[in-house]
Structure 1
């Protein structure tokens, strides 16, 4: 138990720092008037964002490294006359 006593000073400093920061942080959070917030929101919506989107470049056919033969047109009437048995 005595070996854990070295943790006490750091725990006390940590708790004091947390309390101090929470106390300082509450003063900086004043409420904004609803009308002022609504006016700011309306101004932000009316602004022209000026964002222009570039056209997508044309998609090129990427090679996969696999050779594919072009499909052939069916032969004259002989394929149609054959039936699987």
Structure 2
């Protein structure tokens, strides 16, 4: 039985995490948003988008999207170096 005592901290931490997750995910009663909250939301939705969210004037649908980097270096097929 002593050999299993090293599992005790993991069991305690796991149990505590399960209790916290259960408490945080509990069902809460629905509440009706106030008129002030609804007005603020409507104002935010109707506000124009910032410039960063608008498409650039030079960018059109024909331009190729930039390829995402994978972090892997690939040698060009035309260049061959000897070791």
| TM superposition score normalised by structure 2 | 0.37
As a proportion of its length, which structure holds more helix? Answer: 1
